Amino acid sequence: MVSRQKKASLLFFQILYRADQSVVVLPTKYLAYKTRANASPNTVKQIAFSLCYYLNYLESTDMNVGQVFELKFDEQHRHFTDFLRWLKLGCHLDKGRKKTPNNGTCNAYLQDVFGWYQFLETEEEQFQDLKVLSSHVVSFVNPAGVRFHLTKKTFRGYLPEEVHKGRAIEEDNILTLLEHCANLRDQLLMLLLAETGFRIGEMLGVYYTKDINYQKHSIRVNFRDQNENDARAKNAEYREAVISPETFRILMLYLSENRELLKKTEHLFINLSGPNAGKPLNANAVYAMMGRLEAKTKIKVTPHMLRHYYAKQRRDSGWDIFLISQALGHRHVDTTRQYLDEETDKLAKTAEQYFDQYGSLLMADKLL
């Protein structure tokens, strides 16, 4: 099982034995290394759960890490591909959970496990290199024209990648959700996510004292790695987005209504009631709020769907895809294309134009 412990300003994760709550040393040592290497808390948390799943799988095979290192190549390969199948069947999930992970998620779990194994190869003298990881050199050129070479280790056994198409939410549904929000804070949060395209970690990390330009009506993403609510900008990046005059007025009303509570923190979004009133809102609270909205309205909504909505609205209004990619904070424009499912849309529009110009195939309309 996974536990967390805060030491000074750092959040550490541990893996514990269920029976006596003692620490499982080797994986916990790796998690501490990732934390000190400035990996985000969400990343370390994900690795912790990946390793937990793998340790449960190891237990089911009556093996330990040392024995895995000693396996022959084909046995090692079978061990890890069987782990992928074990994940795909949902064997790591609690009973009652029907939805099993997609191939990409299973592969990501195994990548986390391989990261741990490579750490053990470096740190623990008794372990040798995994036989199933092969090295290859990747070359790339930086903007200054200097060529770099990077050696990466790969595994030839991952599940085939599935094409993932994110889902945007329709504007009418957003309006319905806004009408059913319990308070002004929730309305403001939904509006800002839809109008800025910020990730939820970026939005919850906004400081009303430093990150809002009240003259320009803009909000800025600033990277901070020690927020009380563990909110953090991905890729340690900085971006800025302008919001509509109407949403800015709602922002000012929210600040006015909650000025006493907001004196306790610099964070824009806070808990409004209960023992944590005045403390920064965290991502779990946002997902719980959106779950309650879904129960009321039967409309599914997540922060990521609002991010997709932002991208789709900008594309439909004529924004260049590179500009959308920059606004979303994507490192690669291909990620933005996947967001927008751009190639499928282009094909559909081209087909419509073709039929408008040339008519249906073999005069099929006469058969109707």
Neighbours of 129 (CB within 10 A): 13
Neighbours of 235 (CB within 10 A): 11
> pLDDT per residue over 66-93, tens digit each?
999 999 999 999 999 999 999 999 999 8
For the chain, list residues with pLDDT below 50. Answer: 342-344, 347, 354-355, 358-368
First to last CA, the chain: 63
Determine the pLDDT at residue 315: 77
Determine the pLDDT at residue 264: 92
| Helix then strand then coil, % of the chain, to nearest 5 | 50, 10, 35
> pLDDT per residue over 34-63, tens digit each?
988 888 788 899 999 999 999 999 999 999
What is the greatest pairwise CA distance in the chain? 78
The residues that bridge with 15 in the sheet, in sequence order, are 2
Determine the pLDDT at residue 358: 47
Domains of the chain, CATH where assigned: 2-129 (1.10.150), 171-314 (1.10.443.10)
Specify the amino acid at residue 42. N
> pLDDT per residue over 273-297, tens digit each?
999 999 999 999 999 999 999 999 9
Write the CB contacts of 108 (distance below 8 Å, at least 6 apart in sequence). Answer: 46, 50
- In this prediction the pTM is 0.61
CA-CA distance, 205 to 183, in Å (whole number)? 20
CA-CA distance, 229 to 205, in Å (whole number)? 8
Determine the pLDDT at residue 365: 46
Determine the pLDDT at residue 144: 60
Q: For the sheet containing 239-242, what is the strand order?
A: 212-213, 218-221, 239-242
